[in-house]
Structure 1
Amino acid sequence: MNTEGLHSLFLEKRSISTDSRKIEENTIFFALKGENFNGNTFARQALEKGASYAVIDEAEYKTSDRILLVDDVLTALQQLANFHRKHLGIPILSLTGSNGKTTTKELINSVLSRKFKTTATLGNLNNHIGVPLTLLSMDKTTEFGIVEMGANHQKEIEFLCGIAEPNYGCITNFGKAHLEGFGGVEGVIRGKSELYDHLINENGFVFYNNDDPIQSEKLKDISRKFGFDHRGQADVHISLLSADPFVKLEVRDEIIESHLIGSYNYNNIALAVCIGTYFDIPLPEIKAAIESYTPQNNRSQIINKNSNKIILDAYNANPSSMNAALENFSGLSGTKKTALLGDMFELGSSAAEEHQKIAEMAEKLENTEVFLVGVNFFDTNTSLRKFKSYEELRDFMKDRVPDNSTILIKGSRGMALERILDIL
Structure 2
Amino acid sequence: MINTAELYQHFLKSPIISTDTRNIIPGSIFFALKGDNFNANKFATQAIEKGAAYAVIDEVEFAGEKCLLVDDVLSALQNLACYHREQLNIPVIGLTGSNGKTTSKELVNAVLSERYKTFATFGNLNNHIGVPLSILSITNKVEIAIIEMGANHQKEIELLCTIAQPTHGIITNVGMAHLDGFGGFEGVKKGKAELYAYLKAHNGYTFINRDNAFLMEMSQKAGLNKLLYYGTENGNTIKGALKNSDPFIEVEWTNHEISSSVKTNLTGSYNFENILAAICIGDFFEMQPEEINKGLANYEPKNNRSQLTKTDHNTVICDFYNANPSSVTAALNNISVLSADQKTAILGDMFELGPESATQHEIIAKQAVESGLHQIIFIGKYFYAFKDQFEGVFFETPAEAADYLQQNPVTNNLVLLKGSRGMKLENLLQFL
TM-score band, normalised by the shorter chain?
over 0.9
Q: How many residues align?
A: 423
For 1:295, give the aligned amino acid: P
Determine if the alignment matches structure 1 residue 422 to structure 2 residue 424. no
Secondary structure in 2 matching 1:316: coil
Q: Distance in 2 between matches of 1:174 and 1:306?
A: 37
For residue 393 of structure 1, the aligned residue among 394, 401, 420 is 401
Please list, as runs of the form range in 1=range in 2, the aligned pairs for 1:276-287 lying within 5 A after superposition.
276-287=282-293
Q: Distance in 2 between matches of 1:206 and 1:178?
A: 24
For residue 240 of structure 2, the aligned residue among 238, 241, 249 is 238
Secondary structure in 2 matching 1:341: strand
Shift of 1:255: 1.4
Q: Distance in 1 between matches of 2:217 and 2:231?
A: 14
Q: Distance in 2 between matches of 1:176 and 1:353?
A: 12
Q: Distance in 2 between matches of 1:270 and 1:115?
A: 18
Determine if the alignment matches structure 1 residue 370 to structure 2 residue 376. yes
1:107-161: CA deviations, max 9, x gaps? Answer: 1111111222111100010000000000000011111111100000010000110
Match of 1:55 in 2: 56
Secondary structure in 2 matching 1:398: helix
Please list, as runs of the form range in 1=range in 2, the aligned pairs for 1:148-167 lying within 5 A after superposition.
148-167=148-167
> Runs of 5+ in structure 1 lacking a partner?
none
For residue 336 of structure 1, the aligned residue among 329, 342, 354 is 342
Shift of 1:245: 1.1
1:198-248: CA deviations, max 9, x gaps? Answer: 000111110110000112233345320101111123111111111111111
Secondary structure in 1 matching 2:51: coil
Match of 2:192 in 1: 192
Match of 1:213 in 2: 213
Decide which moves more: 189-198 or 112-121.
112-121
Shift of 1:328: 0.6
For 2:307, give the aligned amino acid: Q
Shift of 1:296: 1.2
For residue 357 of structure 1, the aligned residue among 333, 358, 363 is 363
Q: Distance in 1 between matches of 2:415 and 2:77?
A: 44
Please list, as runs of the form range in 1=range in 2, the aligned pairs for 1:40-79 lying within 5 A after superposition.
40-64=41-65, 66-79=66-79
Please list, as runs of the form range in 1=range in 2, the aligned pairs for 1:4-403 lying within 5 A after superposition.
4-64=5-65, 66-220=66-220, 222-252=224-254, 253-380=259-386, 381-403=389-411
Shift of 1:24: 1.1
Q: Distance in 2 between matches of 1:218 and 1:43?
A: 45
1:135-190: CA deviations, max 9, x gaps? Answer: 00001111111110000001000011011111000000000000000011110000
Q: Distance in 1 between matches of 2:199 and 2:302?
A: 31
> Runs of 5+ in structure 2 lacking a partner?
none
Decide which moves more: 194-203 or 360-369.
360-369
Contact 2:30 2:56 in 1 (8 A): yes
Q: Distance in 2 between matches of 1:351 and 1:396?
A: 26
Secondary structure in 1 matching 2:341: coil
Q: TM-score, normalised by structure 1?
A: 0.98
Secondary structure in 1 matching 2:122: coil
Q: Distance in 1 between matches of 2:186 and 2:390?
A: 29
Shift of 1:330: 0.4
Match of 1:405 in 2: 413
For 1:138, give the aligned amino acid: I
Q: TM-score, normalised by structure 2?
A: 0.96
Q: Distance in 2 between matches of 1:353 and 1:218?
A: 26
Pair 367,15 (structure 1): closer, same or farther in 2 beyond 3 Å: closer
1:374-421: CA deviations, max 9, x gaps? Answer: 000000221221111111111111021111111110000000111111
Q: Distance in 1 between matches of 2:14 and 2:89?
A: 20
Q: Distance in 2 between matches of 1:423 and 1:383?
A: 22
Contact 1:335 1:367 in 2 (8 A): no
Residue identity over aligned pairs, in percent, reads 49
For 1:51, give the aligned amino acid: A
Shift of 1:297: 2.1
Contact 2:115 2:291 in 1 (8 A): no
RMSD over aligned CA atoms reads 1.0
For 2:326, give the aligned amino acid: S
1:324-360: CA deviations, max 9, x gaps? Answer: 0000110011121111000000000100000000110
Secondary structure in 1 matching 2:351: coil
Contact 2:179 2:188 in 1 (8 A): yes
Secondary structure in 2 matching 1:240: strand
Shift of 1:14: 1.3
Q: Distance in 2 between matches of 1:140 and 1:404?
A: 51
Q: Distance in 2 between matches of 1:223 and 1:81?
A: 28
Q: Distance in 2 between matches of 1:85 and 1:321?
A: 33
Shift of 1:254: 1.5
